[in-house]
């Protein structure tokens, strides 16, 4: 893998002087601006063919400004090949005009609105949210799912009701690796994988482990399950940089991910670290 170019299918960038990110106040370690220059330094040892930007939770009122800002960055660095913005899916059909405009932008491939922080476990199966997720499919956009395991039962209902929309599960569903909890995450993961032609991001394992004391053996039971459930055909690696810096450098997580996929052939690894992203994101 060392000499192969890869696709990083989950990166964030933020400029705290340009946009407001209230959530960063909780994480002093990453509460500063992270630019493409910073990313290039972090990845200097590895050839990055393309990157996919995923919305970084700026204030909701600024979500269109975030899209404009990242679009401008992508014009300076053509490797920034896809943008996954936020959109207010909770407002239902009222989001239609926004999604139609997103669909006209060749770099915008899908939408993410976090479900993970929602205490209402039925948040994502409100009638309005369901209608908006259906609109994603109608506009040839996918939905990036970022959840905690407790959200799986409702998410499975959402997927069932939105059969024309493709989903990709971020961060393997955020199991509590620090607490060594495999169940019921494992069963939910299998149910999601069996629910349609949906994908899973092989990302953020380290931030769900002990941030300061994790090692590869803590992650392996989870990676083995994910590889078994989705197979190399529907797994896509992402760094989740700079969020990953809470637990690891970019390089350490990348090397760990390569080791965790050592049971795969080189062709299968190439799918996880490159070609699946090209296909899924239509790069």
Q: Where are the domains of the chain?
A: 6-280
Cα–Cα distance between 271 and 190 in angstroms, integer? 20
Strands (E), the chain: 6-11, 48-54, 80-84, 110-111, 142-145, 167-169, 199-202, 235-237
Q: What angle (nearest 5°) sits at the alpha carbon of residue 160, between those of residues 82 and 122? A: 90
User: In this structure, are residues 181 and 207 in contact, taking their beta carbons and an 8 Å threshold?
Assistant: no
∠ at Cα 13 (11, 19), nearest 5°? 145
Asked if residues 110 and 140 have their Cβ atoms less than 8 Å apart, the reply is no
Residues 6+ apart with CB under 8 A from 272: 202, 232, 235, 236, 237, 261, 264
Tell me if the bond preceding 242 is cis, omega within 30° of 0: yes
pLDDT in the model for residue 3: 59
Q: Of 101, 104, 165, nearest to 131 (Cα)?
A: 165
Q: What is the pTM of this model?
A: 0.97
Query: In this predicted structure, what is the pLDDT of residue 50?
Result: 98
pLDDT tens, the chain, 283 aa long: 655 899 999 999 999 999 999 999 999 999 999 999 999 999 999 999 999 999 999 999 999 999 999 999 999 999 999 999 999 999 999 999 999 999 999 999 999 999 999 999 999 999 999 999 999 999 999 999 999 999 999 999 999 999 999 999 999 999 999 999 999 999 999 999 999 999 999 999 999 999 999 999 999 999 999 999 999 999 999 999 999 999 999 999 999 999 999 999 999 999 999 999 999 999 9
Rounded-to-integer distance, Cα 225 and Cα 175, Å: 12
pLDDT at 1: 62
Q: Which of 126, 204, 114, 110 is nearest to 166 (CA)?
A: 110
125, 99 contact by CB (below 8 A)? no
CA atoms 124, 126, 128, 130: torsion sign: positive
Tell me whether residue 47 is exposed, middle or buried, using C-beta atoms within 10 angstroms of its C-beta: 0 to 12, 13 to 18, 19 or more. Answer: exposed
Predicted local confidence at residue 2, as pLDDT:
55
Class of domain 6-280: alpha beta
Residues 6+ apart with CB under 8 A from 94: 88
Query: Which of 128, 178, 176, 123 lies closest to 145, judged by CA?
Result: 123
């Amino acid at each position: 893998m060392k000499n192969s170019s890869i696709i990083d299918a989950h990166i964030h960038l933020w400029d705290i002087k340009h946009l407001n990110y209230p959530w960063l106040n909780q994480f002093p370690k990453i509460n500063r601006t992270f630019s493409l220059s910073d990313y290039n330094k972090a990845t200097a040892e590895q050839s990055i063919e393309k990157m996919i930007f995923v919305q970084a939770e700026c204030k909701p009122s600024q979500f269109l400004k975030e899209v404009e800002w990242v679009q401008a960055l992508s014009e300076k660095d053509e490797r920034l090949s896809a943008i996954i913005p936020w959109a207010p899916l909770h407002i239902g059909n009222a989001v239609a005009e926004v999604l139609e405009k997103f669909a006209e932008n060749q770099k915008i491939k899908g939408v993410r609105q976090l479900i993970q922080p929602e205490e209402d476990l039925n948040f994502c199966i409100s009638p309005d949210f369901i209608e908006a997720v259906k609109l994603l499919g109608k506009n040839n956009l996918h939905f990036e799912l970022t959840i905690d395991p407790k959200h799986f039962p409702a998410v499975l209902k959402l997927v069932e009701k939105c059969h024309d929309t493709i989903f990709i599960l971020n961060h393997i569903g955020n199991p509590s690796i620090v607490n060594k909890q495999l169940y019921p995450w494992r069963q939910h993961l299998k149910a999601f994988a069996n629910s349609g032609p949906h994908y899973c991001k092989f990302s953020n394992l380290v931030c769900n482990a002990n941030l300061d004391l994790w090692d590869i053996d803590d992650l392996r039971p989870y990676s083995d399950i994910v590889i078994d459930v989705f197979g190399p055909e529907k797994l896509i690696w992402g760094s989740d940089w700079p969020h990953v810096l809470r637990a690891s450098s970019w390089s350490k997580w990348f090397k760990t991910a390569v080791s965790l996929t050592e049971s795969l052939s080189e062709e299968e690894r190439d799918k996880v670290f490159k070609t699946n992203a090209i296909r899924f994101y239509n790069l």
